[in-house]
Each structure stands twice: as structure tokens, then as C-alpha cells.
Amino acid sequence: MGMSNFPYRKLGELCTILSSKRIFAKEYIESGVPFYRSKEIIQKHNGEKINTELFISDERFSEIESKYGVPKENDMLMTSVGTLGVAYVVSGEDHFYFKDGNLTWYKDFSSELNSKYLFYLFDSELGKDLIKSVAIGSSQSALTIDGMKNLEVPCPDICIQEKIVKLLKTYDSLIENNNRRIAILEEMAQKLYREWFVHFRFPGHENVKMMESEMGLIPEGWAVSPASAIGQIVGGGTPSTKNESYFTKDGIPWLCPRDFSREETKYIARGQKDITEEGYKSSGAKMMPAGSIVFSSRAPIGYTAIAINPLCTNQGFKSIVPNNDVSSEYVYYYLKNNLPLIDGYASGSTFKEISSAQMKLVPFLVPSVDVMFGFERISAGLGKKTYNLQQKNTNLRKTRDLLLSRLISGDIDVSELDIPIKEG
């Protein structure tokens, strides 16, 4: 385990660590105050949209708030079962309650510990090692409140902590700003797709008759075809995880659904792990060319991206390699906009999955080549800007993570840096 040059202190001496008042399943309602588990806190950590389906009543929330308290601005919550150590610092706009056991609540921070510094500490490799050192359980790891209270963490002077937070927040703010710009570009492309292919108001639509199809009225000259007619459906495979020589940092790009969970990505080049030539040959993974549309077929169905270079995937995908006369951009947006239709072809009791045979049957609206590639020209232009912003974010994250580890270890001395530490 790495060490820090800063003095270490027991975490329980610097803040209050506790769980929540238990909420029972019978208390869940369809709308009200959102109820977060690990899943939602991970989404918050990653800056994703929250998609909780659990709520408790305003009355119950108010009762808990007055008797026991609820998470307030600058308190921190951290995942404590299964996926350990993913933290989120509560903002002033947040209004939610959370599940006991799954999450640990850090509050009443002393003047010697900044909650945002603690957040960054646990986001660093050193922090992750510290968490592993107090985790219990073999089948499912967990953190105990006592374990966290007794955990010794590097604790520099509060001014140093605030300077570290300010430096790292600069990077996070740039990433957030780029994500907002990506969202605007994506919404422009989505609106264009809906205008042309849902409302049929494409250039020249006034002169095109409508005709009956299995999808209802569609423009003359367009068709409805199964996915198997628009391209090749390709599955994937995973080399044995017991053989370390099958995985590498710089080999054949290989994707898992979890590579998509961090944030929405329209274009993808590789996942967190590559596989070796030997690993590729040992698995059912299949190489696909640039322009293929990767589509997750289980847990969950619907992660979608366009491959920027040749790559392969694990078995959690049923991807499409489009025919030459079919636009990658069009297929990408068609899949994104027709998830309920595709979901209807999936089966399975524990979790739904779509097989290759089922994926081949999914009906596609196939526009005329002129309209399809007219859309591609505009969409790809927006997409180029999206990809450039994605690349900037990748580089910002690498720099931030490198800086994070050096700041937390004390290798970079920020004491002499003139950084205004009051939030402006």
C-alpha cells in the first residue's frame, strides 16, 4: 500500500460516521422524496442522471429529519457493500434519503477535516487501498462503521486540504462544462433525428407520398427491414479471467457494459482493459471495424456507441456492423430511440437479455439512401465536436488522476501556492 507524507489521524476523531434510520419496503411509494441506494450514489459520483424508482413520502422524510437528521450540504455518503468506497459530497440542491447498510454517512466534520478533501482522498489509489485494508467479507465485501472510525487517513493542515480541493475542483469543473456541451450537441442531433425520422419532416418531404407499412405510415421509397438485413449482428466473448496473460493495458480494444457506466459516450475507442492476441484467440470475441455500433444486450439492454476504431466486446453485446449502404450514425440514433421496441424482443426471468436470433428480428425503419446520408453528414459534423470534447475529457481525467495521487501523497507541496481557498 502507498503512503502519504502527511500525518495520519483516525477518521472517527474527525467526523461522525453512522448509517441511516431503516426504511422498510412497505414504505416505498411511487413518487415523493427519492430514496437512494449504492446505485444512485454511484450515478451521482459519476455525474450521471439518477434513475431511481424508489421514493418515500414527504411526511416520513420530515419525521426522520426532525428526529434523526438527514444528509445536509457538505456531508458525505459512501458505498459500503459490494462496490466499496464510491463517495459523493451532498450539495445544497440535493433532497433525498438513503438506504441503511448500503451507504455510510459522514457528517459533523471537525475544523480539521474538509469533506471534499475526504472525497478526493477516497477517489485516489491510496484511498482505495485504505478502504480495501478495512473491508470485511469474502463472498461480498463490506465496510463497517467501526472499521471506518478506526481507519487512519492522511490529514494535512486544513489550509493544505482546501488548496488540494480547489486544484482538483478546477479539473472537475472543466470536465463538467465539457459534458454540458456534449449534452447540447447530442440534443441537437436527437432533435434532427426526431424531426426527420419520427415526424417525417426531412428535406423534400412535401413531395413524398406516405404508404402503409408494419410500422404504420412511412414515406414512399422507405422500407421496414429486420436488423439482419441492415448489417451483421455480432456477439462477443471473454477470455478466462483466471489467466492474467489474456489481459493487458495496450492490446486489442475490448469492451464490457461497465465501460459505459461512467458517462454517456457516443463514440468509443476502448474499454478499461484490453486483451492480448492470445486472449482474443481463446475467447468468442470477434473483431468489428470502425463504424460498428456496439449495443449492450443485457444488464442493462441499451448501452450504445459507435466504434471509432476496430474493437471487440464481451458476450454482453449484440452489436451491428452496418452494410455499406447503411449509415452508422442513423443506426446509432435508431437504436437509442427505439429501446422499448428492442426490449420487447428480449427474454429471461432473472434479467432480460436479447439473443442474436432475437436481435436479427428487430424491425428497422430504412429511409432512402439520400435522406439517411443527408442525416449522417449533419450528425457526424456535430459528432466530430462531441468526440473532440470526449478526448479533452479523457486527457483532463488522466491529468487530474495523476495530480490527485501526487497531491494526496504530499509529493506536490501546495503550501506555498497562491490559491484562493474561499469558494467564490
For cell 449492450, what's the residue? 296
What residues pair up with 153 in beta bridges, in sequence order? 9
Are 48 and 120 in a shared domain? yes
CATH number of the domain that residue 283 is part of:
3.90.220.20
CB 151 within 8 A of CB 132: no
Give how far Cα 76 sits from Cα of 13, 23, 114, 141, 301, Å. 16, 20, 10, 20, 31
Quote the pTM value.
0.82
pLDDT in tens, 273-321: 999 999 999 998 999 999 999 999 987 899 999 999 999 999 999 999 9
Are 256 and 296 in a shared domain? yes
Is residue 216 one of the residues assigned to a domain? no
Is residue 357 one of the residues assigned to a domain? yes
Residue 101 has pLDDT above 50, yes or no: yes
Task: Please report the DSSP string for 64-131 in residue order.
Answer: HHHHT----TT-EEEE-BSS---EEEPPTT---EE-BTTEEEEES--TT--HHHHHHHHHSHHHHHHH
Q: List the Cα angle 350/352/357 in 5-degree steps.
A: 130
CATH number of the domain that residue 373 is part of:
1.10.287
Is residue 213 one of the residues assigned to a domain? no
Are 361 and 233 in a shared domain? yes
C-alpha cell at 164: 488540494
Q: Who's near 254: CB < 8 A, 6+ residues apart?
A: 270, 271, 273, 274, 275, 280, 285, 311, 312, 313, 314
Is residue 214 one of the residues assigned to a domain? no
C-alpha cell at 398: 488522466
Is residue 217 one of the residues assigned to a domain? no
Are 20 and 150 in a shared domain? yes
Are 67 and 121 in a shared domain? yes
Are 270 and 357 in a shared domain? yes
Segments forming the whole domain that contains residue 422: 157-207+368-424
Residue 264 has pLDDT above 70, yes or no: no
Is residue 3 one of the residues assigned to a domain? no
Is residue 142 one of the residues assigned to a domain? yes
Q: How far apart are CA 27 and CA 45, in angstroms?
A: 26
DSSP 306: E
**Cα Rg for the chain, rounded, in angstroms?**
25
pLDDT in tens, 107-165: 999 999 999 999 999 999 999 999 999 999 877 889 999 999 999 999 999 999 999 99
| pLDDT score of 293 | 98
Are 83 and 179 in a shared domain? no
φ, ψ (nearest 5 deg) of residue 165: -60, -45
Of 235, 273, 238, 267, give the one whose Cα is nearest residue 353: 235
Is residue 218 one of the residues assigned to a domain? no
- Of 155, 170, 196, which marks where a domain is finished? 155
For cell 475467447, what's the residue? 283
Give how far Cα 396 sits from Cα of 171, 204, 215, 292, Å. 7, 43, 45, 27
Are 300 and 372 in a shared domain? no
| pLDDT score of 398 | 92
Are 161 and 98 in a shared domain? no
Least confident of 140-144, 260-264, 379-383: 260-264
| pLDDT score of 43 | 85
Residue 416 has pLDDT above 80, yes or no: no
C-alpha cell at 221: 421509397
pLDDT in tens, 14-31: 999 999 888 888 999 989
Are 280 and 412 in a shared domain? no
pLDDT band at 260 (very low <50, low <70, confident <90, very high): confident
pLDDT band at 422 (very low <50, low <70, confident <90, very high): low
| H/E segment holding residue 254 | strand 252-255
Residue 232 has pLDDT above 70, yes or no: yes
C-alpha cell at 160: 493544505
| Domain count along the chain | 3
pLDDT band at 87 (very low <50, low <70, confident <90, very high): very high
- What integer is the mean pLDDT of 347-351? 80
Are 311 and 409 in a shared domain? no
Are 294 and 361 in a shared domain? yes
- Of 351, 366, 381, which marks where a domain is finished? 366
- What integer is the mean pLDDT of 232-236? 96
